């Protein structure tokens, strides 16, 4: 199943999730009203038939007030959690006391290894590098991703960092990346918010009961005042009703969460193996959880993110119903016959046979080999610069200046920053062109640490530097648009076009622009257009002249194609890849153009690793 099919599945899951949680909320309201009705009928004993009493109760202000109050408590809990996650998950991470890895120069080897793996995965997947956080106080083995497309966040426990070898960590990171690529993060965050609303009702009831029993009172307030005692009794009863009803709603919410999450976890395991080509590493990681430190977190909010983690984060009764993850034996069986048996061997400390079997398995790291090779070729000082916000800004300025030859300098730089910029500009003139896109990817998580005012100033200076020489290259436009859209994400759009012929003019301009970059000879250009482009265009369309294929015109065309259905966008990006791969060689400018197309039509890059 590809990205676009996953996108459709994610949308269906979102609608299903919304319906199921509306059902859970309705049941919660009914349960609370049932408790209040039992108290109401105690004070209205004149009814001989319960049905008559129930019908009368439904029409009373008490029923309306009870329903409204329950909905308000639920809404308050949900809105509060949404407010905590308003910046894409940073607030959520703060609840877990996770520390961001920023300075990569003095990291312990396991932490440096984690950063290298995340960068390799991001470059191989042609996506921005997530910011990386470590939960230093958690010694169990677990991880999760959160955030939004403009700023993904990967959180790993210290236990995972210190327990896994490189292949095992790569398998776990691949599992988490698959959640990003399959659009699971948005569903996960919505589940966190809705479950917080269900928990809020139960917590309110528990607080009411505790306050009634533990709050100090003078004896005459209770013992000598029958009305006061009756009020406290009613207060406690209502608290118990909310507590039990909220807990029942929470159980139903957990059932829904578990049902949705289990299948996504199996899919993420399969995607990790597809990504890394190393099922043994994922299996070994699962075995370490099963027979090692486990995966349970100590943080009080572990329940809230249980469906987001790599493995179970809280102990669960009735695992078949409420567990958000398949049990480890099931996950091992999915990776191949024999892994459950190997897990038993590991438990008995008989390691040799399992290790020999794993060594015989072929490991194909082709999909990550190119990314690792490129990242390792980038000098260590550049990696360090890319971990410091202001230095990263200067490096991106320098890359633009080195390419354009312009003498114009950005504004508001200190004397020392000007000197550093000049030094970096000279250095950037010798950069391998294939470093440039990975440098953008590595720069994004660092740039996200700038505040809004710094973002705006940076974008403005980038625009002025690009315009300084009177021309805009594909890389300059890609750099500008990538930084802008990742720091200022656009809202998702609903498809307006269900046929490629509805955007024929834009499609013709896209293919023409890409072909002018891919082929230099007019005859080759015409042949490429006839072979690839005409199949998706109405009859009579021809290759546009090069002067009509400007970047602003292309940007306008790509913006229109954002409104195609996901399956049609897949056809467009795949056809662009076919054009680029026609000569079996991918030029840097072609790769830049593909990244730009994917960015502007909200589509992932097609796989080009074999070339």
Is residue 281 a contact partner of residue 167, using CB atoms and an 8 Å limit? Answer: yes
pLDDT band of residue 340 (cuts 50, 70, 90) is low
Most confident of 43-57, 340-354, 451-465: 451-465
Most confident of 175-184, 192-201, 544-553: 544-553
Q: Is residue 492 part of a domain?
A: no
Residue 530 gets which letter from DSSP?
A: I
Residues 176 and 197 in one domain: no
Residues 275 and 344 in one domain: yes
Distance CA 561, CA 559 (A): 5
Q: Is residue 468 part of a domain?
A: no
Residues 276 and 243 in one domain: no
Mean pLDDT of 244-266: 78
Residues 304 and 168 in one domain: yes
Residues 197 and 53 in one domain: yes
Strands (E), 136-287: 143-148, 151-157
Query: Which CATH number characterizes residue 317's domain?
Result: 3.30.2010.10
Which 3 state secondary structure label does DSSP give 154? strand
Which 3 state secondary structure label does DSSP give 542? coil
Encode 49-68: b = buried (16+ Cβ within 10 Å), e = exposed.
eeeebbeebeeeeebeebbe
Residues 275 and 355 in one domain: yes
| Six-digit token string for 14 | 């979102």
Mean pLDDT of 184-188: 77
The predicted pLDDT at position 132 comes to 93
Residues 337 and 418 in one domain: no
Distances (CA, A) of 503 to 136, 182, 554, 570: 51, 27, 13, 15
Encode 562-583: b = buried (16+ Cβ within 10 Å), e = exposed.
bbbbbebbbebbebbbebbbbe
pLDDT exceeds cutoff 70 at 189:
yes
Distance CA 411, CA 418 (A): 10
Residue 490 gets which letter from DSSP?
A: P
Is residue 268 a contact partner of residue 175, using CB atoms and an 8 Å limit? Answer: yes
Per the prediction, the chain carries an average pLDDT of: 81
Please tell me the total count of domains within the chain. Answer: 4
pLDDT exceeds cutoff 90 at 426:
yes
Distance CA 202, CA 386 (A): 46
Residue 604 gets which letter from DSSP?
A: P
Distance CA 427, CA 238 (A): 71
Mean pLDDT of 61-71: 87
- The model's pLDDT over 30-54, given as tens digits with 9 standing for 90+, comes to 888 888 888 777 776 666 677 777 7
pLDDT exceeds cutoff 90 at 250:
no
Q: Is residue 505 part of a domain?
A: yes
Q: Which of the following is catalytic: 119, 138, 176, 265? A: 176
Domain range spanning residue 98?
Answer: 94-187+266-360
Q: Which residues, listed in sequence order, are joined to residue 309 by a DSSP beta bridge?
A: 144
- The model's pLDDT over 457-466, given as tens digits with 9 standing for 90+, comes to 999 999 999 9
Q: Which residue has the higher pLDDT, 425 or 218?
A: 425
Q: Is residue 475 part of a domain?
A: no
pLDDT band of residue 492 (cuts 50, 70, 90) is confident
Q: Which residue has the higher pLDDT, 340 or 479?
A: 479
Stated as kind and residue range, the H or E segment containing 135 is strand 131-135
Q: How many CB atoms lie within 10 A of CB 266?
A: 15
Distance CA 512, CA 128 (A): 28
Alpha carbon 608 to its chain centroid, in Å, reads: 23
Q: Which residue has the higher pLDDT, 473 or 211?
A: 473
pLDDT exceeds cutoff 90 at 554:
yes
Q: Is residue 237 part of a domain?
A: yes
Distance CA 128, CA 109 (A): 23
pLDDT exceeds cutoff 60 at 563:
yes
Q: Which backbone phi and psi does 315 adopt, to 5 degrees?
A: -70, 140
Q: Is residue 448 part of a domain?
A: yes
Residues 100 and 76 in one domain: no
pLDDT exceeds cutoff 90 at 182:
no
Active site residue 176: yes
Is residue 281 a contact partner of residue 71, using CB atoms and an 8 Å limit? Answer: no
Residues 197 and 116 in one domain: no
The predicted pLDDT at position 515 comes to 92
Q: Is residue 526 part of a domain?
A: yes
The predicted pLDDT at position 3 comes to 46
Q: Note the residue count of the chain.
A: 611
Residue indicated by tokens 């230095």: 391
Transcribe 85-134 into DSSP letters.
Answer: TTTSSHHHHHTTT-EE----TT--HHHHHHHHHHHHHHHHTTSPPPEEEE
The predicted pLDDT at position 395 comes to 95
Residues 209 and 123 in one domain: no
Q: Is residue 133 part of a domain?
A: yes
Q: Which residue has the higher pLDDT, 371 or 515?
A: 515
Residues 594 and 510 in one domain: yes
Record the pTM. Answer: 0.68
The predicted pLDDT at position 360 comes to 34
Q: Which residues, listed in sequence order, are joined to residue 497 by a DSSP beta bridge?
A: 564
Distance CA 521, CA 528 (A): 11
Residues 76 and 134 in one domain: no
Q: Identify the domain boundary among 252, 279, 294.
A: 252
pLDDT exceeds cutoff 90 at 275:
no
Long-range contacts from 454-461, C-beta under 8 angstroms, 24+ separation = 454/389, 455/487, 455/488, 457/412, 458/393, 458/483, 459/483, 459/484, 459/487, 461/397, 461/410, 461/411
Mean pLDDT of 204-227: 64
Distance CA 376, CA 370 (A): 10
């Amino acid at each position: 199943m590809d990205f676009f099919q996953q996108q459709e599945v994610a949308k269906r899951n979102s609608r299903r999730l919304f319906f199921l949680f509306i059902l859970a909320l309705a049941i919660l309201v009914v349960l609370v009203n049932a408790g209040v009705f039992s108290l109401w009928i105690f004070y209205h004993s004149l009814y001989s038939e319960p049905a008559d009493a129930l019908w009368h109760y439904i029409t009373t202000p008490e029923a309306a007030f009870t329903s409204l109050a329950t909905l308000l408590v639920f809404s308050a809990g949900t809105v509060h959690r949404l407010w905590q996650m308003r910046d894409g998950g940073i607030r959520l991470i703060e609840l877990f006391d996770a520390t961001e890895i920023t300075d990569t120069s003095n990291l312990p080897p396991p932490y440096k290894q984690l950063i290298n793996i995340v960068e390799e995965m991001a470059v191989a997947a042609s996506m921005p590098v997530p910011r990386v956080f470590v939960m230093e106080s958690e010694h169990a083995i677990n991880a999760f991703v959160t955030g939004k497309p403009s700023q993904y966040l990967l959180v790993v426990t210290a236990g995972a960092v210190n327990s896994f070898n490189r292949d095992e960590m790569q398998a776990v990171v691949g599992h988490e990346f698959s959640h990003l690529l399959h659009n699971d993060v948005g569903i996960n965050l919505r589940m966190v918010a809705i479950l917080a609303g269900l928990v809020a009702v139960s917590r309110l009831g528990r607080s009411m009961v505790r306050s009634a029993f533990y709050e100090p009172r003078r004896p005459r307030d209770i013992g000598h005042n029958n009305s006061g005692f009756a009020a406290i009794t009613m207060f406690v009863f209502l608290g118990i009703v909310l507590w039990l009803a909220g807990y029942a709603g929470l159980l139903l919410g957990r059932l829904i969460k578990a049902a949705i999450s289990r299948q996504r976890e199996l899919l993420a395991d399969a995607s990790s193996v597809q990504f890394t080509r190393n099922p043994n590493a994922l299996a070994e990681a699962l075995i370490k959880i099963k027979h090692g430190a486990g995966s349970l977190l100590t943080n009080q909010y572990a329940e809230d993110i249980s469906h987001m983690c790599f493995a179970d984060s809280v102990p669960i009764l009735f695992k078949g119903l409420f567990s958000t993850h398949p049990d480890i034996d099931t996950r091992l069986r999915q990776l191949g016959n024999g892994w459950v048996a190997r897990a038993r061997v590991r438990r008995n400390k008989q390691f040799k046979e399992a290790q020999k079997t794993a060594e015989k398995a072929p490991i194909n790291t082709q999909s990550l080999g190119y990314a690792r090779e490129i990242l390792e070729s980038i000098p260590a000082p550049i990696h360090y610069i890319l971990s410091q916000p202001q230095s990263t800004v200067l490096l991106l300025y320098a890359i633009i200046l080195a390419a354009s030859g312009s003498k114009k300098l950005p504004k508001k730089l200190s004397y020392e920053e000007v000197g550093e910029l000049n030094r970096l500009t000279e250095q950037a003139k010798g950069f391998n062109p294939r470093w440039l896109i990975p440098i953008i990817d590595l720069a994004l998580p660092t740039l996200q640490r700038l505040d809004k005012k710094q973002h705006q100033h940076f974008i403005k200076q980038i625009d002025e530097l690009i315009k300084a020489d009177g021309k805009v290259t594909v890389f300059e436009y890609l750099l500008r648009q990538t930084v802008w859209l990742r720091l200022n994400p656009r809202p998702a759009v609903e498809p307006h076009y269900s046929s490629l012929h509805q955007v024929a003019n834009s499609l013709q301009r896209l293919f023409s622009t890409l072909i002018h970059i891919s082929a230099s000879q007019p005859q080759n250009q015409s042949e490429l257009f006839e072979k690839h482009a005409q199949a998706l265009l109405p009859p009579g369309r021809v290759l546009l002249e090069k002067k009509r294929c400007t970047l602003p015109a292309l940007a306008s065309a790509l913006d229109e194609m954002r409104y195609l259905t996901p399956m049609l966008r897949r056809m467009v990006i795949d056809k662009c890849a076919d054009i680029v791969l026609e000569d079996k060689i991918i030029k840097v400018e072609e790769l830049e153009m593909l990244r730009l197309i994917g960015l502007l039509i909200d589509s992932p890059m097609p796989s080009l690793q074999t070339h």
